[in-house]
Amino acid sequence: MEEISHTLVNALAITSGIVCDGAKPSCAAKIAAAVDAGILGWEMYKNGQQFYGGDGIIAHGVENTIKNIYRLGKEGMRKTDKEIIQIMLTT
């Protein structure tokens, strides 16, 4: 459980800035980047490297980090979603 938790926190720290833009080709690349981040997160943990609570949106504990990511997606991305739609409609 500890290994999974630290791997997840590391991967979330790496990928939390990825924004869905509704474009199918870039979605595939973002999925690949997330898989790579998961592998890197695991390798970091195995080598004694990790992100800590207070590093950006990373909190103490995997559950609290997930809550922060959820908040970022639910509240923080509202305006971003609208802006992405406007960009898509005007280009």
Q: What is the pLDDT of residues 12-23, one digit of tens each?
A: 999 998 988 877
Q: Give the three-state DSSP class for 49.
A: coil
How far CA 60 is from CA of 53, 67, 83, 85, in Å, comes to 4, 11, 32, 34
Domain boundaries, the chain: 2-90
What value does the mean pLDDT take over residues 20-27?
Answer: 82
Q: What is the pLDDT of residues 32-46, one digit of tens each?
A: 999 999 999 999 999
What value does the mean pLDDT take over residues 28-35?
Answer: 93
Total Cβ atoms within 10 A of residue 67: 13
- Which secondary structure element, helix H or strand E, spans residue 30, and what is its range? helix 24-46
